[in-house]
Structure 1
């Protein structure tokens, strides 16, 4: 049974979700269908992933009521600005085939044009007030940028989705989030990005994680997901392989000790594997998000 987390607006969501970043559209529907079959009830996608339509198809094809599946998606920077973000919501909702999105995030802070970021977030506030989204949040917002957002808007984000894994835990971000009652949600929660992000170390091969996994009869991936859940984070692992989709959900029958959690914490390198949020600009990263 998946654990649940109550957000700062009293909406509850599953702690463990299923992500589809870099999953080709042709493989998305099958992988989401398998995740739903296994027991996942939080699906995370984004306009920029190009697979919202297939996520919606898989949910509709399941035997689950819409209310049983928590849908999370993200607006891309090309749709920032107030009116643009409202239209971005329409595009995402149309592709997903839903009237209401459970959690809508701004995908990046766009610090190079922060007025557009503020406008987009104010659109999220409008969508929340109108009942078209149930909760709103941000992604990849560092503490100083988060403070700028909070100073210019009214609704505290429910979630901040950022890179968090044993080699890069962003404790300053987590502390800032917690101080405002914001849930930290981990993307690349098992450090998969360390494998393809140019690092010469992989979390999956780390001897400390391997030793802890052996002691519990679990895999390194399962140990890393348990680490997130026990420290109060949400995590959204991704895979297209049925056996891994199943294994990643099998993390609710064991507990890590305080010593084990501390040993994993101590693996921190301070090195980001994903892009620096400040490097995300319209000049370099703008992309057309097609109509629904």
Structure 2
């Protein structure tokens, strides 16, 4: 098994997309580091690092629950050191943690602007920086960042500039790391969905149950991540993948199993 005993560090892994990727790779035998802020249950969000770790361990794989706010450099260093102490290395980093607010320029408060940049951009950079020394030692090193293809057509940028800036920055870093570390090799790719994904953000911030019913489940990104991460690091890097294209490359065109409501019309994502 390719992922057997490989160690995967996932930010924002207590719920949603991060947890789904964690469970998918745990089923392949990977050790999973569940790194997130949630240590107590929030009924609107659901899940903690401990409940996610318990689900992972139920698959037969090992999990390490680590409280982590990626805005905090000391916590990043501690989380990475705990991972090394327990598992001995890091093979894969999933940059999933992200903050979102879909507001126009006049409606975006400076504290929200700063929050999105400090998590999505600065936090992703510092998290990756801390993992690089250990990824360099891996025989199957991958960085996968949850961010969209970069499209500078104005209609994609205008509606929510502050958020879009941060997500495009994440994709720029993903592309940059692919070039910077290509000779090691450490693969670096980005992944984004074609349609909205049923997450707590969709239900609580964006469109509620109505939008959730027009979405796909988190499992589609978990499976897409699996297909990307099983590729050789030196041969699959520098891409900003859309999930449907990942499946198409695997010869899979029927994605109906991932619809929250079977047969429902799906809502296209913000960036595609």
Q: TM (normalized to structure 2)?
A: 0.39
Q: TM (normalized to structure 1)?
A: 0.37
